[in-house]
């Protein structure tokens, strides 16, 4: 049995961290679903930037939208939603079979609104209404400004993937925003079943301290942060406040392990996948990591609910001069800026392709 199936059997959802039109047209995504137990998919501005920039498969769609007077950001979202809808339809059987626990596809708001609460909320509601698929998460960054938009989106009934979380404290803030939205729905007499996941980025921690800590601590920071956050999730989900919402029909927010591709070429290519096997969580993997797991990965144990030795490992990083809180803030800020840079590049690609296609008309 493939390790992907074993991981699925342990209770962790495997999602693909990629989407391209070629993947949809060629049947590659369908093969991942059938052969590698993939049950969902995430996207972000960098993924779409690479997909559209490196393919002509989007040209007809862009040409059609141009003829309808679309341009820039609005044109992009219309084109991207075609891919998102097709992927959501592929995962719809999983979504139905799991009563909405799984089978999700994620579409992100513009990273340019990551620090604008009102704009994030408006865009989240607009995108969810336009995509017209119930198994689509709208991704909102878990920045200080994004948290109120997350609460309001949940209250409005929009399923949310909270992205760009880097620490236990980031996760707890995102969980609190989600819970407030659910509690407000209960108070208002609304159905509290509004799904959400909280995406914690893992490997970027180790990339950030590479070469700056003792060899004994190499590639251990991201996993320790994840273990600490997993303990916090387990404690939250069993707390009286959260359990009260379950009795009204709410469903708990799941933790999602993001950025789980190994960046250190000397480390195992399935390091983060093997280390973060855990029930009622999601691991979203790039293609290479997914294939490596299916080919030679091994999965036998799951994360300890009590966080294992994470606090001792984090204390060792502190002794080595790593300020965890400061680094978490820096990583979140860098992540938002990286997505904004990709977004700018994506808008440049849309503009240049638009000009080329108009010239060919």
Domains of the chain are 3-360 (3.20.20.70)
Q: What is the mean pLDDT of residues 212-217?
A: 97
Looking at residue 74, its pLDDT comes to: 94
Looking at residue 18, its pLDDT comes to: 97
What is the pTM assigned to this prediction? 0.96
- Point out the catalytic residue in the list 30, 70, 125, 139: 139
Evaluate if residue 353 carries a pLDDT over 90: no
Looking at residue 357, its pLDDT comes to: 85
Q: What is the mean pLDDT of residues 28-55?
A: 94
- By percentage, how much of the chain surpasses pLDDT 90? 94
Residues 76, 347 contacting (CB under 8 angstroms):
yes
Evaluate if residue 361 carries a pLDDT over 80: no
In angstroms, the CA 353 to CA 260 distance is 32
Tens-place pLDDT, residues 162-195: 999 999 999 999 999 999 999 999 999 999 999 9
Residue 139 annotated among the catalytic residues of the structure = yes
pLDDT, mean over the chain: 96
């Amino acid at each position: 049995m493939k390790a992907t199936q074993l991981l699925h059997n342990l209770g962790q959802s495997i999602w693909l961290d990629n989407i391209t039109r070629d993947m949809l047209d060629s049947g590659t995504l369908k093969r991942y679903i059938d052969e590698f137990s993939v049950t969902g998919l995430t996207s972000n501005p960098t993924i779409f930037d690479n997909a559209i920039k490196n393919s002509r498969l989007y040209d007809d769609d862009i040409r059609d939208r141009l003829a309808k007077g679309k341009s820039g950001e609005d044109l992009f979202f219309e084109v991207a939603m075609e891919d998102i809808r097709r992927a959501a339809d592929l995962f719809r059987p999983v979504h139905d079979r799991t009563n909405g626990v799984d089978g999700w596809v994620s579409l992100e708001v513009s990273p340019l609104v990551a620090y604008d609460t009102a704009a994030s909320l408006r865009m989240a509601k607009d995108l969810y209404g336009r995509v017209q698929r119930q198994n689509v998460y709208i991704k909102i960054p878990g920045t200080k400004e994004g948290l109120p938009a997350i609460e309001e989106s949940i209250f409005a009934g929009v399923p949310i993937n909270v992205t760009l979380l880097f620490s236990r404290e980031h996760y707890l803030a995102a969980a609190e925003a989600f819970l407030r939205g659910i509690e407000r729905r209960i108070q208002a007499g609304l159905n509290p079943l509004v799904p959400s996941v909280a995406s914690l980025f893992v490997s970027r921690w180790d990339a950030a301290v590479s070469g700056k800590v003792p060899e004994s601590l190499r590639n251990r920071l991201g996993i320790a942060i994840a273990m600490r956050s997993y303990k916090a999730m387990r404690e939250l989900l069993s707390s009286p406040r959260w359990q009260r919402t379950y009795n009204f029909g709410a469903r708990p927010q799941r933790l999602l392990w993001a950025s789980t591709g190994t960046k250190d070429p000397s480390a195992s290519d399935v390091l983060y996948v093997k280390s973060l096997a855990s029930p009622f969580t999601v691991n979203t993997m790039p293609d290479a990591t997914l294939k490596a797991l299916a080919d030679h990965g091994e999965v036998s144990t799951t994360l300890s609910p009590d966080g294992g030795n994470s606090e001792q490992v984090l204390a060792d990083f502190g002794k080595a001069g790593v300020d965890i809180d400061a680094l978490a803030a820096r990583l979140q800020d860098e992540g938002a800026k990286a997505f904004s840079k990709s977004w700018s590049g994506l808008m440049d690609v849309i503009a240049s392709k638009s000009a080329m296609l108009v010239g060919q008309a």
